[in-house]
Amino acid sequence: MFSFFKHLKNVIAFNQLEKKDRRLVFYSEGKNYWVHLEGMVKAWLKNYDIPICYVSSASDDPGLLLKHKNFRSFTIDEGWVRNWFFENIETDVMVMTMPDINQYQVKRSRHKVHYVYTQHSLVSFHMVYRKGAMDYYDSIFCAAPHHKTETRALEKHYGLSKKDLYEHGYGRLDSIINNKKSVSHNPQSNENTKGHVLLAPSWGDDSIIELLGDKVVAPVLKAGYKLTLRPHPQTLIFAKEKVQAIIDKHQNNPLFHFESNVAGQDSLHDSNIMICDWSGAALDYAFGLNKPVVFIDVPRKINNQDYQQLNIEPYEVSIREKIGRVVALDEVNNLAQHIEKTLIHFENNSFKNDIYNLGNSAKKGAYFLNEILKNL
C-alpha cells in the first residue's frame, strides 16, 4: 500500500510541473532498458536546454540516479498507476522502447502526444513482434535498413498510415563497442578451461532454457568450458524453476556461473563465444564484439503468424550463418564439438555497416527528437 501512494505521489508531482518542464518524456520499463535510452538522454542534456522527464517502473533503474539541472526522474508501478498515468499524460513527445502500446494495458494518452519508438533489439519487426506492435507509434527510430523496409511493408499490408521513420542507429551496440574500447578484457585468460561460453537465449516455450534446459548446459561443462548462464528476465519470471534446476545441479562446479543482470556487459566481453536461439542478444554480441554465436535451431520465435505474407526474410534468419553456426536439435549432445569447430574456423567478419550512425546514435537521436519537438 505504501508503494501505491508513493507512485501516486510521483504522478501528482509530474502533473504539477509546468508544461515547459515536461515537453519531453522518456519511459523505461526497468533497469534493463536504461542502456537503450542512456546515450540519447545524456546527448540531449549535453546539447539542448529543454528539460527531460524520465519515468521508470523500477526503483533500481540506474537512470533514476542521473543528476542534471534539466533532468527529473519519477518512479511508477507496472499496474493501475502506470496505466492511468499513460492514459492522461500531457507532454509533447514520449520516447519508449515498449512495443504493443495501446494494444493491452498501456494506452496512448487522451491528449495529443507524439510517440517515438526506439529500438531495444536489432531483430525484425514482422516475425518476433506481435501483430500491431508498432501501429500506435507516430515515429520509429530505426536501427538499420531492414526496420525501414519492414515498417513500410507492414503499413502497406495492413493498410496503415505512414509513420515518420528516422535512420537512428542502436544505442546498445554503441555502448558495447565503447565499453570494449575503454575496458581491458581478455577472454583468453580463463585459466584451466577450453574457453568461456555465454549462454544467453531468448524466452518462451520454445527457447533454449524452457525447451532444453540442462541438455545444453551439461555437455558444455563436461567438455571443460567455463559457462555463464544469462537467462532472459522473462525466463526468470515464467520459467524460474527450470533456471533454478540448472543452478542447483551445477552450483558447485567452478566452471559454472550464473548472471541475472542482462544490462551488464562483463560476460559479453570476457566470453569467447555465445550460445543463443532467436534472441537479439546474439546480434549485439556478434556485431559489437566480432565474436561467433552458436545458434541452437529451436523453432522460430513467431509472434505474428502473418509474417510470411510480407515475403521479407527476417533479418535474424538471414544473418545467422554469417555470424556463427546453426546446430540442429538432434546435435545438442555434440554441442561442445560444434563450439570448438566454430571457434577454430570463425572468420572475424563484421556486418556493423548495416547499422545506422554506428558510434553516433545518441547524438543523432537527440537531434531527431529536437526536430520533432520543433515541428509540433
Task: Give the model's pLDDT for residue 311.
Answer: 97
Domain annotation covers residue 177:
no
| Domain match, 11 and 100 both | yes
Domain annotation covers residue 182:
no
Domain annotation covers residue 30:
yes
Would the pLDDT of 2 be above 70? no
| Domain match, 245 and 342 both | yes
CATH number of 211's domain: 3.40.50.2000
**pLDDT tier, 1 (very low <50, low <70, confident <90, very high otherwise):** low
Number of domains in the chain: 2
Look up the domain containing 163 and give its range: 2-170+357-375
b/e map 84-100, b = 16+ CB within 10 Å: ebbeebbbbbbbbbbbb
| Domain match, 310 and 260 both | yes
Burial of 191 (0-12, 13-18, 19+ CB in 10 A): exposed
Domain annotation covers residue 175:
no
Q: 229 has which bridge partners?
A: 199, 258
C-alpha Rg value of the chain to the nearest Å: 21
User: Dihedral sign, CA of 308, 153, 128, 124?
Assistant: positive
List phi, psi (to 5°) of 267: -70, -25
| Domain match, 332 and 367 both | no
To the question of pTM greater than 0.75 for the whole model, the response is: yes
Give the pLDDT confidence of 88-122 residue by residue, as tens digits: 999 999 999 999 999 999 999 999 999 999 999 99
Give the pLDDT confidence of 24-77 residue by residue, as tens digits: 999 999 999 999 999 999 999 999 999 999 999 999 999 999 999 999 999 998
Give the pLDDT confidence of 121-174 residue by residue, as tens digits: 999 999 999 999 999 999 999 999 999 999 999 999 999 999 999 999 999 999
User: Dihedral sign, CA of 49, 355, 100, 275?
Assistant: negative
Give the pLDDT confidence of 168-214 residue by residue, as tens digits: 999 999 999 998 866 555 555 455 578 999 999 999 999 999 999 99
Domain annotation covers residue 299:
yes
Give the pLDDT confidence of 206-262 residue by residue, as tens digits: 999 999 999 999 999 999 999 999 999 889 999 999 999 999 999 999 999 999 877
CA 172 – CA 358 distance, rounded (Å)? 11
Task: Give the model's pLDDT for residue 191.
Answer: 55
Contacts of 141 (CB under 8 A, 6+ apart): 116, 117, 118, 119, 166, 168, 365, 368
* Cβ(202)–Cβ(301) below 8 Å: yes
| Domain match, 261 and 145 both | no
| Domain match, 219 and 348 both | yes
CATH number of 45's domain: 3.40.50
